[in-house]
Amino acid sequence: MPDVRSWFRRVAACLSMRLLSAYRRPRAFLLGLVVIPLLTVLVLTYVVNISAARRQALGHVDVAARLGAEILSETLEETFRSARQLAAPPAFVDDVQRADRDALERRLEDALAFMPRVDAAAVINPQGTIIAAAPKELNWVGRDVSRDEPFVGSKAAGWDLYLTSVYLREGPGVEKVVSVMWPVWSGDTLVGLVQLQHRVEDVKSWLQKIRLDAGGYLYVVDHRQQLVVHPLQLLPGRPKAVGDWPTVSEELGPGGSRFTYRDADGVRWMAGVHPVGSTGWRVVAVQTEQGALRPLYAIFWSLGAVAGVLLLLVVLIVVQWARLHAFSLRLLRQNAKLLKQGQQRRLTDREHP
């Protein structure tokens, strides 16, 4: 215990000597006790807070993407249930087998009245010809769609529940749409397909409540790596393939992914990506790092300005202190010189009386 106390006393004495030495040298005092500690605090504060802000912003875009995926999953699930319920009754199956257009269109119109998110509905026979559609203004009956995305994709999926990729719908006006396809079975025999369509603009409206900070936005990509919803896409332009985008080429697990990347212009982005159930779709939320950190940068600019003013005041005080110290040293040297000269005269007088 005495050894520890003596060690602390030696350390305290050493620090005291260094502080006293710095005190006697104003520039060293300014640099060692004011400038370096202040800059160290500012740099550490900046690094720690920027790192925390990056993590928080990345978490924000991840939450936005997950929320968007959940909204899409829940909304599309409603359409899946509607398609199953529409195709289940035996009377509906009989109407499909008989290709009873009038009866099927009445059923489709009644169903659309209870499905406000669905824009159009159709029944397609196994050969790929539309036998009934609603609303009637579309004039789809008799159209061959055997080479169109909904029929081809549904066939490739084994005549199971299928959510199409985005495609152009012809008719009165050309629009981007997506469809839910559900098979109609009579025993083990496929007798037709139910098609329920959503306009891409309606899909976009489901996600409008999700907000991101400045410089951020959200978009949706289908299983064919085409943009379904994007704030900058042209409507009704052809679907845009974006398989080379980092957010689309990223492999996804059930829990999604979040990461940072640089675009072709060198801009750093933060991204959160989440799958939409088992559909193959994904929701992507992105934000520029600069946009996410801009509020923090503004705070640090203000803090830096305040620190600069304080440092300037300290410098002015130390300059005045240095002048006073220099003046005291001059007086001390002058008095020491006079004292030395007096001592030399007295010594000379003694040697030569």
pLDDT one-digit tens code per residue, 289-322: 887 666 655 665 666 666 677 767 766 766 666 6
Q: How confident is the model at residue 75 (pLDDT cuts 50, 70, 90)?
A: very high
Verify that 198 and 215 share a domain, yes or no: no
Verify that 68 and 217 share a domain, yes or no: yes
Q: Measured between alpha carbons, how far is 279 from 179 in angstroms, rounded to an integer?
A: 12
Could you tell me the pTM of the whole model?
0.74
| Helix (H), strand (E) at residue 161 | none
Q: Measured between alpha carbons, how far is 21 from 122 in angstroms, rounded to an integer?
A: 91
Verify that 59 and 95 share a domain, yes or no: no
Verify that 119 and 99 share a domain, yes or no: yes
Residue 1 falls within a domain, yes or no? Answer: no
pLDDT greater at residue 337 or residue 207: 207
Q: Measured between alpha carbons, how far is 38 from 28 in angstroms, rounded to an integer?
A: 14
Residue-number span of the structural domain to which 237 is assigned: 52-75+210-288
Residue pair 43/279 in contact by the 8 Å Cβ criterion: no
**Token pair listed for 123:** 């029944």
Domain boundary pick from 185, 202, 219? 202
Residues forming beta bridges with residue 122, ordered by sequence position: 133, 195
DSSP class of residue 182?
A: E
Residue 275 falls within a domain, yes or no? Answer: yes
Verify that 192 and 108 share a domain, yes or no: yes
Q: Measured between alpha carbons, how far is 161 from 83 in angstroms, rounded to an integer?
A: 9
Summary mean pLDDT of the chain: 82
**Token pair listed for 352:** 């030569």
Residue 333 falls within a domain, yes or no? Answer: no
Residue 57, Cβ neighbours under 10 Å: how many? 22
Residue 19, pLDDT score? 45
Residue 279 falls within a domain, yes or no? Answer: yes
Verify that 165 and 215 share a domain, yes or no: no
- Sign (positive/negative) of CA torsion 227, 232, 235, 240? negative
197 φ/ψ angles, rounded to the nearest 5 degrees: -105, 145
Verify that 165 and 196 share a domain, yes or no: yes
CA nearest to 92, candidates 130, 137, 138, 123: 123
Biggest CA–CA distance in the chain, Å, is 149
Residue 38 falls within a domain, yes or no? Answer: no
Residue 229 falls within a domain, yes or no? Answer: yes
Domain boundary pick from 202, 219, 238? 202
Q: Measured between alpha carbons, how far is 146 from 132 in angstroms, rounded to an integer?
A: 15
Verify that 189 and 120 share a domain, yes or no: yes
Domain boundary pick from 152, 183, 202? 202
Verify that 280 and 251 share a domain, yes or no: yes
Residue 193 falls within a domain, yes or no? Answer: yes
Residue 349, pLDDT score? 64
Which residue matches tokens 């896409």? 233
User: Is the preceding omega at residue 236 within 30 degrees of 0, hence cis?
Assistant: yes
For residue range 157-167, what is the model confidence (pLDDT) as tens digits?
Answer: 999 999 999 99
**Token pair listed for 277:** 């159930």
The answer on pLDDT for 234 being more than 70 is: no
b/e burial code for range 129-141 (CB count within 10 A of at least 16 → b): bbbbbbeeebebb
The number of domains in the chain is 2
Residue 103 falls within a domain, yes or no? Answer: yes
CATH assignment of the domain containing 263: 3.30.450.20
